[in-house]
Amino acid sequence: MTTARRHATLEDVARAAGVSRSTASRVLAESGFASPIARERVRDAADRLGYVPNAAARALVRGAGVRLLVAVAGTSPGVLDDSYLDQVVSTTAQVCAPYGLGVTVAWVPLDQPGQLARLADDRAVAGLVLVNTTEALLDVVPRRLHGRTASIGIGSTAVPSVDIDNGGGTSAIVRHLYAAGRRRIAMVTGPAWLACSRRSVEAYRGLLREAGLPVREVAGDFSAARGRSAAREVLHRWPDTDAIVGISDATALGVIDQLRADGVRVPADVAVTGFDDIPLASVTALTTASHPVRRIAAAAATMVLEQRPAPPTTMFPSSLVLRESA
């Protein structure tokens, strides 16, 4: 196994099979004509020699890339140290393996979209997976990668996009709260520049307006820390609030923590809901909406690898998970 001999090249395979390099290439790359006999002899020889095509050479001549770039927009590089992104990257790497492609991650500062152009303007980049970016970032994607870009959580139709049904998920949550008799429902939102956050907020507003209930919003940022301070803010501004919708599980957990610390009973006095269904949610009995992150990431990666022609947006459902917090 630990062969010291030089790696077998296409030339070696061709010679062993008694055909030309061209024919061997045609057989192994599955392009163009080749007689069944030639086909078999080449495959045989390749097997025998343990031939593995040289990805660099292939990429060079084809003008193709050797890796996928997962780009994450955000205000600080801290977005990279996040369990959601960990799952996306790891899943992408799994999906890419059979294609012989690697994966890299990079943070794109929200106010410097040019950074993305710089990163993507590299022939080695075979495709792009944009995570939580703004539509503005899409403009900066080099033309070369237009067919090889997918986004997660942006809901754009300009680029094949995989999305969570944030609107539907939030609606389900708000309806559940309403059905449980809650009438003064507040929300800790996410950053407005994020489409997925906006969709949640809009669903919340829409439903409340429709029901003739007051809208009570406090700006958040997905974090638990902001959840804590937001909880205080909500009860300070609207003391009769009887439910708080968190934009994420982390936020909701922060809210619950603060409420309990302040002697507010959850869910008796105030019901609290999250979004995502992280492992912590089941332990803390958080009512939330669940999303198949791994499947979402795999779908996005597959889109760029297979160069799907059409499907503008694939929407993954958000399923309500009822637990004790609401």
Partner DNA sequence: CCCACACCTGGGAGCGCTACCAGCACAATC
Partner DNA sequence: GATTGTGCTGGTAGCGCTCCCAGGTGTGGG
Q: Give the contacts of 119 (CB within 8 A, at least 6 positions apart).
A: 69, 71, 106, 108, 125
Map residue 185 onto helix, strand or coil. Answer: strand
Identified binder of DNA from the candidate list 40, 48, 50, 54, rule CB under 7 A? 54
CB of 103 to DNA, least distance (A): 22
Identity of the amino acid at 24: A
Quote the Cα angle for 200-201-203, to 5°: 65
Distance CA(172)–CA(52), nearest Å, equals: 51
Residues in binding contact with DNA, number by CB under 7 A: 33
Identified binder of a copy of itself from the candidate list 20, 35, 54, 75, rule CB under 8 A? 54
Buried b (16+ CB within 10 A) or exposed e, 3-17: eeeeebbbebbbebb
Identity of the amino acid at 29: A
Q: State both tokens at 165.
A: 């049904």
Mask for 112-151, x = binds a copy of itself (CB under 8 A): --x--x---xxxx--------------xxxxx--------
| Residue 62 near DNA by CB under 7 A | yes
Identified binder of DNA from the candidate list 21, 67, 175, 183, rule CB under 7 A? 21
The one of DNA, a copy of itself, none whose footprint includes residue 307, by CB under 5 to 8 A per kind, is none
Contact status, residue 38 vs residue 27, Cβ threshold 8 Å: yes
Identity of the amino acid at 98: P
| Residue 55 near a copy of itself by CB under 8 A | yes
| Residue 90 near DNA by CB under 7 A | no
Contact status, residue 161 vs residue 195, Cβ threshold 8 Å: no
What are the backbone angles phi and psi of residue 88, rounded to the nearest 5°?
Answer: -60, -50
Identified binder of a copy of itself from the candidate list 80, 180, 215, 321, rule CB under 8 A? 80
Residues in binding contact with a copy of itself, number by CB under 8 A: 55
Distance CA(311)–CA(283), nearest Å, equals: 37
Identified binder of DNA from the candidate list 1, 2, 5, 63, rule CB under 7 A? 63
Nearer of residues 33 and 78 to DNA, judged by Cβ = 33
Q: Which stretches of the chain bind DNA, using CB under 7 A?
A: 6-7, 9-11, 18-23, 25-26, 28-29, 31-38, 51, 53-54, 57-58, 60-63, 123
Q: Which stretches of the chain bind a copy of itself, using CB under 8 A?
A: 1-4, 7, 50, 52, 54-57, 59-60, 64-68, 70, 80-81, 83, 85-87, 89-90, 93-94, 96-97, 100-106, 114, 117, 121-124, 139-143, 253, 279-280, 283-284, 294
